[in-house]
Amino acid sequence: MIRQDELFNVRNIVLYLFSLFLLWEWLRPLTLITDTGSISLFLVFLVICLLLLYFRIRFWLSLLITGFIMFYMLHTTYQDGSFFQIELINLIYEEISYNISMALDGNWTEMTGYFRSLLFFILLWMMCYLMHYWIVHQKRIFTFFVLTIIYTTVIDTFTPYEAEHAIVRILVIGLIMISFLYYERTIDTELLNNNRRDFFFKWLIPTFAVVVVSAFVGFLVPKAEPQWPDPVPYLKSYVQGNDGTGSGVKKVGFSSDSSQLGGPFIPDDEVVFTVEASEKHYWRIETEDVYTGKGWVSSESSGRRSFDRLIEVYGDWWSFESVEQTPAEAQINMMKEQPYIVYPLGLTSIEGIPLEFNQTTERLYVERDLEIASLTNYTTIYNLPEYSVEALQNAKPYDASNRFIHKYLQLPDTLPTRVSDLAKEITEGKETQYDKVKAVESYFDSVNFQYETEDVAIPGEEEDYVDQFLFETMKGYCDNFSTSMVVLLRSVDIPARWVKGFTNGEKIKHDVYEVTNNNAHSWVEVYFEEIGWVTFEPTKGFTNPYDFRRDINRDAAEVNVPEVQSQQPELLQEEEVEEEEVNKYEVESSSNISIPWKPIAIVLIVATLMFFILRKTRLKWYPSVMILLYKNRRDEVVYFKAYAALLKQLAVYGLGRKEGQTLRAYAAYIDSYFGQQQMTELTKSYERALYRKDNAQDEWEKSVELWENLIKKTAS
């Protein structure tokens, strides 16, 4: 049984609270280095896991609670409909079985966000359990503390995440936890008297003071600049740039000139535009079709044509009617005028603005007759595509007579043979175009490739940009990955093109995203016959924002709905309109009952947590409740109820009465524990009221203070 003073003391509260802070530091970088929009769900899950461990909830019950919360959070994030439905079990089974099959086949990029989040929840649960084991049983945290520092510094070095304040927080948290656990080990080994008051004034306050003051002073004092900066990427880029083969260190952002790729760039977090949209997108600006061996240029321009005329003649020129599309719109707010217009895949119009379109670069312009030259605030109307994997796998080979497609197969004569040999090796054994594309895309997930923005080479005069990246450096950013994928696909006769624009940026509030120069990006689009242009993402650390579904997962969700709808009009006979309207109302009322499962689930979770908290803290609050119930009562039965409540409270405290033990012997045991004689006196009074038929009310009035003193001791 867990003693009250063991569970609720300053050390335990501080250790578990600081464990949460330390785990939180592992979550903070996720919004920058992954496509995770928010860490709030993961943080709530951490709090719940640590609370269950803190209150020593039985393992099987804790597992049920965390499992319920985990799947509820996943459902609210990734799935529609009520959480409390039988079909949900089947959906979860299909989701897990599909992702496991993808993992076993090595198709890691095909794994869904639902399954990746599930694995991350499980990882967080394991980390909480290990943290509990370290601080409760091992009483050591140094190893995890060092791992946290290494993790944070590596993330700070190789990603946009700034860990300056995080390092200070980690040091403060870690040093305090190490000090507390050292005190715990000292008590265990030296058999010292563990006194709370002594601990607070002699250990806790000095520890806090020394660590916090040291960190504060260290943070404020002047610091020398780095003595050994890494000059290699900058010197290399400048030297090569002076030879005419590069442009030196560049500032990140969109650039129309992509003829000389390579070299490092300097980050820039200046906001370019904000987007209000319900879905994530890549924001296109233009595409270039000719690879030169050093970069990209556009073939001879086809001139600017009316955008509306293009839609009328070609329809949606990047996807056919066979692709499932959802109408949508997004509000773009540019921070200042730009020489380009950003737009999503599947654009049909920009509200109220006549446009012109370059069919070669797919760049948009405001119609020349208008006085305005560029747009700063506009609403895009578009069709959001959702691609069927089965349809992509069954796509026919492209029409060789289509001259429009031929330019997306262009490669320079100077391309090294080993590039095309590599493309054939990667796609060997793949029967469909889709499988070949996925094989090339997955090739860049290899551990040999690294995402890098500083130490990035520029090809020399006799070097090919793609060849250098694939076989020599294997380090680069989106331009390296996307250009290489396009060249590899064209090498095996698959039409592909290089697209420039911006990623979705960072979510700053509900459905609002902030896009900076750091979000400038390039990616790949591949042409599938009778499907159109499909987006693929080879760059390491980036995720394709568009959905690829397997038709088998949709069967359960579409249960004969069209048949029911098609039959409904036939039921409405003219001579029975009134009766049918009543029946219709009754059917709709019974089938559209909306049960607010989400708030009910939240209430149940909160109520469950409150129940366990109250149960585990009953030694604190239960005595006060008993005093309120019995102290002022003056009836014949109050003494017997109050004495029974005292025995129950002593048992909860850990001083339960043994089987066969008399009340006198039990009273002597209690008095020896507390070092007094109050329990013996109270028991004698109770026995007089019980066995001698003395006035129980009078005995209660004489002994109520003894009873109150004893029950208060169980709350100390």
- Give the confidence band of 580 by pLDDT, cuts at 50, 70, 90: very low
380 belongs to a structural domain: yes
Closest CA to 645 of 192, 653, 549: 653
Phi, psi for residue 382 in degrees, rounded to 5: -155, 170
Residue 566's pLDDT is 35
Task: Give the C-alpha separation, 321 to 346, whole Å.
Answer: 12
Lowest mean pLDDT among 341-345, 436-440, 657-661: 657-661
348 and 301 in a common domain: yes
Residue 14 lies in a domain: yes
Q: What DSSP string describes 430-457?
A: --SHHHHHHHHHHHTTSTT-EE-SSS--
Q: Residue 419's closest CA among 320, 334, 486? A: 486
> Using an 8 Å Cβ cutoff, are 16 and 56 in contact?
no
Residue 521 to residue 523: CA distance in whole angstroms: 7
| Domain final residue, candidates 500, 534, 551 | 551
Which helix (H) or strand (E) element contains residue 479? helix 478-491
What is the per-residue pLDDT across 509-563, written as a single tens digit (0 to 9) for each?
A: 888 899 998 889 999 999 988 888 899 999 988 888 888 887 654 444 444 434 4
| Integer Cα distance of 558 and 564 in angstroms | 11
Question: Is residue 179 domain-shared with residue 254, that is, in the same domain?
Answer: no
The residue with tokens 């030297």 is 239
Confidence of residue 453 (pLDDT cuts 50, 70, 90): confident
Q: According to the per-residue pLDDT averaged within each range, which of 7-16, 145-154, 632-641 is highest?
A: 145-154
Task: Mention every residue, 6+ apart, whose C-beta is less than 8 A from residue 660.
Answer: none
496-502 vs 283-288, strand pairing mode: antiparallel
Q: Are residues 147 and 259 in the same domain?
A: no
The answer to whether residues 210 and 254 belong to one domain is: no
DSSP assignment of 315-362, as one string? SSTTB-TTSEEEEEEEEEEESS--SS--B-TTEEEETT--EEEETTT-
416 and 467 Cβ atoms separated by less than 8 Å: yes
Give pLDDT tens digits for 199-252: 556 777 788 788 888 888 877 777 666 555 544 444 444 444 444 344 455 666
Residue 427 placed within a domain: yes
Provide the 3-class DSSP secondary structure of residue 297: strand
Neighbour-count burial of 357, counting CB atoms closer than 10 A to its CB (0-12 exposed, 13-18 middle, 19+ buried) = buried
Per residue, the 3-state secondary structure of 101-170, as one string, reads HHHHCCCHHHCCHHHHHHHHHHHHHHHHHHHHHHHHHHCCCHHHHHHHHHHHHHHHHHCCCCCHHHHHHH
Same domain for 300 and 209: no
Cβ partners under 8 Å of residue 666, min gap 6: 657, 658, 683
Q: State yes or no: pLDDT of 581 exceeds 70.
A: no
pLDDT of amino acid 422? 93
In angstroms, rounded to a whole number, what is the distance separating the alpha carbons of residues 603 and 593? 20
Q: Do 286 and 215 belong together in one domain? A: no
Name which residue leads in pLDDT, 650 or 421.
421
Interval 473-492: pLDDT, tens: 888 999 999 999 999 999 99
- Residues 313, 397, single domain; the answer is yes
Full-model pTM? 0.47
The pair phi, psi for residue 326, each rounded to 5°, is -120, 120
Q: Which residue has the tokens 């709709």?
A: 588
199 and 265 in a common domain: no
- The DSSP-derived string for 355-416 is EEEETTT--EEE-TTSS--S-SEEEEEEEEEEEEHHHHHTPPPP-TT-HHHHGGG---TT--
Q: By CB neighbour count within 10 A (0-12 exposed, 13-18 middle, 19+ buried), where does 669 fall?
A: middle
Comparing 25 with 310, the larger pLDDT belongs to 25
In a domain, 228, yes or no: no
pLDDT digits (tens, 9 = 90+) for 191-203: 555 555 565 567 7
Residue with tokens 């980050």: 267
Rounded distance between C-alpha atoms, residue 212 and residue 705, angstroms = 47
Contact 304, 356 (CB under 8 A): yes
Assigned token pair, 675: 């070092």
Task: State the amino acid at position 333 in one-letter form.
Answer: N
Same domain, 214 and 263: no
> Residue 431: what residue type?
E
Domain co-membership, 297 together with 214:
no
Please indicate, yes or no, if residue 437 is contained in any of the structural domains.
yes
The closest of 525, 288, 316 to 407, measured between CA atoms, is 288
Which residues, in sequence order, are CB contacts of 292 under 8 Å at separation 6+?
259, 412
209 and 304 both lie in a single domain: no
Domain presence at residue 577: no
Question: Distance (Å, rounded) from C-alpha 496 to C-alpha 408?
Answer: 6
Please count the structural domains in the chain: 3
Mean pLDDT computed over 458-471: 88
Using a 10 angstrom Cβ sphere, with 0-12 exposed, 13-18 middle and 19 or more buried, the burial of residue 551 is: exposed
Dist. CA 714–CA 208, nearest whole Å: 31
SS3 275: strand
Give the H/E segment covering residue 18: helix 10-27
Measured CA to CA, the distance from residue 173 to residue 145 in angstroms comes to 9
Inter-CA distances, 433 with 317, 341, 426, 551, Å = 20, 32, 13, 19
| Domain endpoint, select from 200, 220, 240 | 220
Q: Is 424 found in the same domain as 360?
A: yes
Helix (H, G, I), strand (E, B) or coil at 500: strand
Query: Which residues in 18-43 are b (16+ Cβ under 10 Å) and which e?
Result: bbbebbbbbbbbbeeeebbeebebbb
Nearest alpha-carbon partner for 323 in 235, 395, 226, 258: 395
pLDDT at 5 over 50: no
CA dist 228 and 596 (Å) reads 60
Range of the domain at 543: 250-551
Q: Which of 219-233, 369-383, 607-621 has the lowest mean pLDDT?
A: 219-233
Residue 590 lies in a domain: no
- Between 586 and 643, the more confident residue is 643
Q: Domain ends where: 521, 551, 581? A: 551
| % of the chain residues with pLDDT over 70 | 78
Residue length of the chain = 716
Question: How does residue 320 score in pLDDT terms, banded at 50, 70 and 90?
Answer: low
CATH number of 268's domain: 3.10.620.30
Distance (Å, whole) CA 549 – CA 96: 15
Residue 562 in any domain: the answer is no
